[in-house]
Amino acid sequence: MTGRTLDLRGFEDLWWRFQSLHYQRHNQRRLEHLTSLGLPLSGRSVLEVGAGIGDHARYFLDRGCAMTITEGRPRCVEVIRRRYPGIRALELDLDSPNPDALGDARFDVVYCYGVLYHLARPAEALRFLAERSRGLLLLETCVRFGPEDTVTFHEEPPEVGENALSGRGCRPSRAWLWRELGALFPHVYLPTTQPWHEEFPTDWTTPPDNPFLIRAVFVASRTPLSNPALTTQLLTRQERCP
Number of domains the chain contains: 1
Residue 127 burial (C-beta neighbours within 10 Å; 0-12, 13-18, 19+): middle
Give domain status of residue 3, yes or no: no
Grade residue 1 by pLDDT with cuts at 50, 70 and 90.
very low
Give domain status of residue 114, yes or no: yes
pTM: 0.95
Grade residue 2 by pLDDT with cuts at 50, 70 and 90.
very low
- The closest alpha carbon to 72, from 55, 88, 44, 95, belongs to 95
Give domain status of residue 8, yes or no: no
pLDDT of res. 99: 81
Q: Check pLDDT > 50 for residue 97.
A: yes
**CATH number for the domain that contains residue 63:** 3.40.50.150
Q: Sign (positive/negative) of CA torsion 139, 143, 149, 152? A: negative
Range(s) of the domain holding residue 201: 25-240
- The closest alpha carbon to 193, from 27, 35, 23, 72, belongs to 35
Average pLDDT for residues 105-123, to the nearest whole number? 97
Q: For 10-26, write each residue's pLDDT tens digit.
A: 888 888 888 889 999 99
Q: Could you tell me what percent of the chain has a pLDDT over 70?
A: 97
Grade residue 159 by pLDDT with cuts at 50, 70 and 90.
low
Give domain status of residue 13, yes or no: no
The string of DSSP codes covering 163-210 is S-SSSEEEEEBHHHHHHHHHHH-SEEEEESEE-SSTTS-SBTTS--S-
